[in-house]
Amino acid sequence: MGGKWKVLIVRELLAGTKRFGELQKSLPGVSHKVLAQHLREMEGDGLIHRTVYAEVPPRVEYTLTELGSSIRQIHDAACQWTEEYKARLGNR
């Protein structure tokens, strides 16, 4: 899970299944090559599942596996901490 983009990919997939183009639009600054590479690595690590539909043009969707979804607790705790920290800063 190292690197800036993998954490952001997981964040996007916590909201639900996404297509490659949707992920790329929601992650400004990520190149096509880097996104594809990270998705392949995460699939190999068992964090995401890639579904290819036999259509023209081909449709590919990405979703978190059970293992990938287990990061939700960590994500939610980090978001809660961030909100509490921002509230403390606002009280200065």
pLDDT tens figures, 32-56: 999 999 999 999 999 999 999 999 9
Domain ranges of the chain: 4-90
pLDDT level of residue 90 (50, 70, 90 thresholds): confident
* pLDDT at residue 69, as a whole number: 93
pLDDT tens figures, 2-39: 778 999 999 999 999 999 999 999 999 999 999 999 99
Coil/strand/helix, residue 83: helix
Are 24 and 10 spatial neighbours (Cβ–Cβ below 8 Å)?
A: no
* pLDDT at residue 92, as a whole number: 64
34, 43, 57 from 23: Cα distances, Å: 12, 15, 18
* pLDDT at residue 62, as a whole number: 98
User: What is the C-alpha to C-alpha distance for residues 13 and 48, in angstroms, rounded to an integer?
Assistant: 9
Question: For the domain 4-90, what is the CATH code?
Answer: 1.10.10.10
Q: What are the beta bridge partners of residue 50?
A: 62
Coil/strand/helix, residue 52: strand
For residue 46 the two structure tokens come to 């068992």
